[in-house]
Chain A
Amino acid sequence: MVDPESGLSLTIARIVQRLQGSSLHSQLERQARVSLHKPEIKLESLKEDIKDFLKTSGWEKKLQNAVYSELNVFPSPCHPAAPPEHMKEPLAYMRKAQGSWEKRILKSLNSMCTELSIPLAQKRPISEQKELLNKWNEMGTDEPDLSLFRPVYAPKDFLEVLMNLRNPNYENGEQPSFRNHLGLIQVPLKVKDIPELKEDFSELGLNIGQLGIDDSAQVPPEFFENEHVRVGQKVLAEQDSAAAQQYVRQGCPTALRADLWALILNISNQPEDILYYEQLKSNVIQHDLLVDSLIYKDVKLTASNDDYYFVFEDYLYQVLLCFSRDTSVLEHFTYSSATPPKSYIRGKLGIEECAVFYPPNVAPLCFLYHEPSRLYQIFREMYVRFFFRLHSISSHPSGIVSLCLLFETLLQTHLPQLFYHLREIGAQPLRISFKWMVRAFSGYLATDQLLLLWDRILGYNSLEILAVLAAAVFAFRAVNLMEVTSLAAAEAVLADLSTLKVMPLLQIFLFATVT
């Protein structure tokens, strides 16, 4: 354990190092230089005066937001002697498992390449480049032959891998007892129980106003909604990231959500960001990657058939194709257990690495942002902060392994009869809820409900709420589930979540269920 004093200075040093050379740094310098011309800046008290100036002009707030953002994203430093892998993932067996999983994906990709005689990456001929540029805004109408492309993996393949995780230092004992975990995940990670969750998610309590509950048509807006909106506008006016994060725990008013999320994720719309996006776009135009076809196929199968998201199909291609070429995403690999497959593209295109990932969730964001570069930034930030944890093996409390374990533990502890019954009929609950959690419920809930859920992910800077919601859904449908006699029937009971209201479910499960 690092002692607090040196831990703090380590953190400060790290943040300073990260912010140095960033565009915020150069903007601050520029502002400071410009302020020299102002009359209120005096030579005698230069340092103080500049500091005051930065404060009143809002630049100190921007710096605060940037620091807050760094604190949120990066884990606290561990012992200075710890190797970098330790920071990515402290448990060796997890690192090993993630490594094998990546090798497996890579092998699958490589064999697909050989089978189809398509290179992993190649430069596009000029005519094709022109064509793509022309139809950049309507790739949805293209109909390339994708029948030979298989998705690299399906959620259930990933679940199989997670199920087989074992801690080599932990002796489970041969006898299954009621104290043993009866679920699919068999690693002894620490997960929270309901009293701890209640504390963590205290703002979701019964006597605190929530959007998603206290803004329904029957409740007069004077009770909660009006005041909440007013506070939200104030938070936006102050441009305070930390305040915004606290605020959204009670939900975002729809009109303020786009700006609040941008504030929390510390996304500004600087010209260099737009340039960056354009550069990525030109990378897409110039080079054709195998993963492009996989992305294309996945979007075609999912979003274009979705009642809510089909409208945004074209945006999804743009964002995902750019994302697959974005090397800045690779920064997050320093704190993710994953390592990008380096072997195949290095040097070939001038792009060092290309990450392989399960196409994550862009579509709901299209409801909030319709300007492509902004949409892209928000999506990228949400991915590197949260969603990547759903696709890699780690011991992080928001990682998919912990979420699965949390879900199963909650269910086993609080609905033991249901859990046991489902297990007996061969319908392990995780087999059904895994796909919800791995996609953060996108594509399963109605959009307005999904956005309310994601408000809380941002507000609490954690994905644990996904596991809690999954358990709450089972609790809600418990009566019907007790009557089913097969996995298929259980799936059917839980097939349609589009009418669910997430906040009441969460509130009841956490705060109003007799344990």
Chain B
Amino acid sequence: MYTYKSWFEAIKCLCSTLCSGNITIQKMAGKVKWVTDIEKSVLINNFEKRGWIQVAENEDWNFYWMSVQTIRNVFSVETGYRLSDDQIVNHFPNHYELTRKDLMVKNIKRYRKELEKEGSPLAEKDENGKYIYLDFVPVTFMLPADYNLFVEEFRKNPSSTWIMKPCGKAQGKGIFLINKLSQIKKWSRDSKTSSFVSQSSKEAYVISLYINNPLLIGGKKFDLRLYVLVSTYRPLRCYMYKLGFCRFCTVKYTPSTSELDNMFVHLTNVAIQKHGDDYNHIHGGKWTVSNLRLYLESTRGKEVTNKLFDEIHWIIVQSLKAVAPVMNNDKHCFECYGYDIIIDDKLKPWLIEVNASPSLTSSTANDRILKYNLINDTLNIAVPNGEIPDCKWNKSPPKEVLGNYEVLYDEEMAQSDGHDRDMRSRSGQSTGIKGNRARDSGKPVLTTWK
């Protein structure tokens, strides 16, 4: 508690601390006013427990947790408006550079070419022409634009399976697998009709090489959902949530072509799996990442497990670096992404996609607790002390408020210290077992973390 000789003193003090960027003094200005257009209890309970006040969109608000449609409006040329210094939103204006399947691939390809041009060791390729360190997205083409390129690739491996995904949809909607060119005739027709007609984004698809050798546990396919919070892109500062989870299919995996249409075998989205006959509402087909780690360490050994998790962190950071140059690094914004990653049977992780609006629906009791804590920790970092935000702050939260997040990459710190300072965190800490990762000097990766 601070006591002042007069109001004048108080205001002077307040001004000086604001100017010095220190906002840890109790503000006398009032409670945070929040708005949301997503009616989810995990959100609302978190706002209410902080004593924040709900207001309507057209009123003066400080914090808006918005859906992706709304962020489009806020930053659009026609309907947009300027945000003031005490307003924070939960999306970056052009997050779709990362979260749309086609743009993500485009940006990563561009990033790789740039690194190659600079002669960076990161862009090193092996004897087959594949990137050694940056090959983490399955071969992907946009349809209908790249149809011919795709056909060329397809013919090199006619027995391969490919997965078609609509660019703008989520939750597994509209996804299907193909193993014959005839199954996507429609896109070849469209590409031939006219190359200048811009396809509405609703019809655009990406087609990626299907990973038909996923790592199976108990004979079932699974993917990883990891949460990553980005507070700023330039300099890049991101945090990884320690409590990610695996989503299992309810049905045994088989690469057999007769089951290509069975979405219960191939798609791990809970939105799909929960309609299966065997869906279980108690565990929801989910495993914690620490379970996965225990299983892999026990059956495959510690080194390969540590290597796998390091690679996962690596590809997340690389994907963020890839889009950082084109991101509108608006200081009013932060974003919590849902990363979907698949591990193949050689223990190589693949980035499947990034979600801007990870589901806040809870499928089980544990799920609800996890998402509640996720939002809680996110708010603690994005809105320091739960007070009225000031977007000019330096976005450097103290370690104590991180909760279940740990620093994934901090560009500023990586640059100021030498390359001895390793900013990569290990998810091994969540099980209380330290990741004894040797500093493998064999890979030049360490030096390039700057």
A residues adjacent to B (C-beta < 8 A): 137-138, 140-141, 143, 215-217, 219, 221, 225-226, 229, 253-255, 257-258, 304-308, 310-315, 366-370, 447-448, 451
Given A217-B429, A254-B297, also A304-B280 (CB < 8 A): yes
A313 touches B218 (CB 8 A): yes
| CB-based nearest A residue for B281 | A305
Given A216-B432, A314-B219, also A368-B298 (CB < 8 A): yes
| B278 touches A (CB below 8 Å) | yes
A141 touches B432 (CB 8 A): no
A-chain residues with CB within 8 Å of residue B298 when the two chains form the complex: 254-255, 257-258, 367-368, 451
B280 → chain A closest CB, angstroms: 6
| B51 touches A (CB below 8 Å) | no
| B248 touches A (CB below 8 Å) | yes
| B53 touches A (CB below 8 Å) | no
In whole angstroms, how far apart are the Cα atoms of A254 and B293 in the complex? 10
In whole angstroms, how far apart are the Cα atoms of A313 and B219 in the complex? 10
Partner of A315, one of B218, B280, B429, B433: B218
In whole angstroms, how far apart are the Cα atoms of A141 and B305 in the complex? 30
Interfacial residues of chain B within 299-313, with CB under 8 A of chain A in the complex: 299, 301-302, 305
A221 touches B436 (CB 8 A): yes
Partner of B434, one of A137, A221, A304, A370: A221
Given A226-B436, A305-B283, also A311-B220 (CB < 8 A): yes
Interfacial residues of chain B within 276-306, with CB under 8 A of chain A in the complex: 277-278, 280, 282-283, 285, 287, 290-291, 294-295, 297-299, 301-302, 305
A-chain residues with CB within 8 Å of residue B277 when the two chains form the complex: 141, 143
B-chain residues with CB within 8 Å of residue A306 when the two chains form the complex: 283
B residues adjacent to A (C-beta < 8 A): 217-220, 248, 250-252, 277-278, 280, 282-283, 285, 287, 290-291, 294-295, 297-299, 301-302, 305, 366, 428-429, 431-434, 436
B-chain residues with CB within 8 Å of residue A314 when the two chains form the complex: 218-219, 252
In whole angstroms, how far apart are the Cα atoms of A253 and B436 in the complex? 12
| CB-based nearest B residue for A258 | B298
| CB-based nearest B residue for A135 | B252
Dominant secondary structure at the A interface = helix
A253 touches B302 (CB 8 A): yes
Given contacts A216-B432, A451-B298, 17 further A-B contacts (CB under 8 A): A140-B278, A141-B251, A143-B277, A216-B433, A217-B428, A254-B298, A255-B298, A304-B280, A305-B280, A307-B287, A308-B291, A310-B248, A311-B217, A311-B248, A315-B218, A370-B217, A448-B294
Which residue among A257, A311, A314, A315 has the maximum number of chain B CB atoms within 10 Å of its CB?
Answer: A311
A312 touches B218 (CB 8 A): yes
B299 touches A258 (CB 8 A): yes
Partner of B283, one of A140, A307, A312: A307
| CB-based nearest B residue for A213 | B432
In whole angstroms, how far apart are the Cα atoms of A308 and B217 in the complex? 12
A-chain residues with CB within 8 Å of residue B295 when the two chains form the complex: 367
In whole angstroms, how far apart are the Cα atoms of A310 and B436 in the complex? 29
Given A255-B298, A255-B302, A307-B366, also A448-B431 (CB < 8 A): yes
| CB-based nearest A residue for B276 | A141
B-chain residues with CB within 8 Å of residue A225 when the two chains form the complex: 434, 436
B218 touches A254 (CB 8 A): no
What are 11 pairs between A and B in contact, CB < 8 Å?
A141-B252, A141-B277, A216-B432, A217-B428, A254-B297, A255-B297, A305-B283, A306-B283, A368-B298, A448-B433, A451-B294
In whole angstroms, how far apart are the Cα atoms of A369 and B300 in the complex? 10
| CB-based nearest B residue for A316 | B218
Given A138-B252, A448-B294, also A310-B283 (CB < 8 A): yes
A-chain residues with CB within 8 Å of residue B301 when the two chains form the complex: 255
A215 touches B433 (CB 8 A): yes
Given A138-B219, A311-B218, also A447-B302 (CB < 8 A): no
B-chain residues with CB within 8 Å of residue A255 when the two chains form the complex: 297-298, 301-302, 305
In whole angstroms, how far apart are the Cα atoms of A217 and B242 in the complex? 14
B-chain residues with CB within 8 Å of residue A215 when the two chains form the complex: 432-434
A311 touches B287 (CB 8 A): yes
